[in-house]
Copies of this chain bind each other. A is one copy, B any other.
Amino acid sequence: MGIIGKHSYRLENTPHIVSSACYVGDKEGKGPMREYFDKICKDDTLGLDSWEQAESRMFESAVRVALAKIGKQSDDLSCLLGGDLLNQIISAGYAAREIRAPFLGLYGACSTISEGLLVGGMLVDGGFLDLAACAASSHFSSAERQYRYPLEMGVQAVPTSQRTVTGAGSIIIKNSASMNDETDWFFKHIVITGGTIGSVEDYGITDANNMGAAMAPAASETICTHFRDYSSSPDDYDCIITGDLGNFGSDMLYELCKKEGYDIKEKHEDCGKMMFSEDQNVNCGASGCGCAATIVSGYFLPQIERGVYNKVLFLATGALLSPVSSLQGESIPSIAHAVVLEHV
């Protein structure tokens, strides 16, 4: 049995992460992480008719590029697991139509890439899938009109706001038992060894422009549950990576973890704080499914591959709101799923 404690599990067959790819927009491509991305687009429509179509194309492209790096095609995939921020996850759905692999649609808002790694990891570990792709995307322009205001209105961003990343990331998981063939794997030294399934937390935040505050409680709950289930502590990890808490949410996370007896500040990195530089004027940082998906794919996985980090806890957080629930005055529940990634 892989179950540990109440909400965690161990992957006894340690599936490998064998490839990844990421595709970002122009602004992301001018930020401090620019050298780590596979593709940067100058035109955020990619020449297509809508931002939604462009987002879907980026999703598809991230999956195809990750497969190409290991000489594989979509036909070799056992399953594609993924989602995005839009209504009825259309970016993922239309990309899956083009990719034509078995598809499991997931929705965890900005936590989607870690939900994908969590579910995909378990399904590969259990022998149900051989080669699985996990992917997630977001797009600044499609997300703004979905969740907030049409861009044409020119509404000014508030100080707690975060900018939705235009980008898509894809990570390929492979059953370790069947790796002894002649494929030249892009990554050879990264395995998923376990994780913790998040539950929905809600501290009553109703401001759709303050995602960090809404998501920090979920991150804290999942991190502390993980430490308790595994009888571990921040000392056991080289790095604890969150998805897109941003500046304000990260500070709130440190406080919440400290109350539970865990000081994580020195070990913590947040993709939402890494994506843009201060002079890019993004207030509290970056957000969106594409934020963690691109930075983990493009930056953290190569670091683990080279042994810069030997063991990390990666958890992306998602705010489970919709425009309908916001207008109806509901607060913003959130969730975070964690996976343990190790260098072997």
Contact = CB atoms under 8 A, between A and B. Distances in A.
* Copies per assembly: 2
A49 B200 contact: no
A150 interface: no
B325 A199 contact: no
Interface residues of A, number: 60
Contacts of A94: 320, 325, 330, 333
In terms of DSSP, what is the predominant structure of the interface of chain A? mixed
Contacts of A127: 1-3, 126
A81 to B, nearest CB: 9
Given A126-B128, A127-B126, A198 B88 contact: no
Given A2-B128, A115-B105, A130-B3, A197 B79 contact: yes
B103 A105 contact: no
Interface in A98-123: 100-109, 115, 118-119, 122-123
Nearest 4 pairs of A and B residues by beta carbon: A126-B126, A102-B197, A93-B320, A88-B322
Interface of A: 1-3, 7, 9, 49-50, 52-53, 78-79, 83, 85-90, 93-94, 96-97, 100-109, 115, 118-119, 122-123, 125-130, 146, 197-202, 320-325, 328, 330, 333, 335
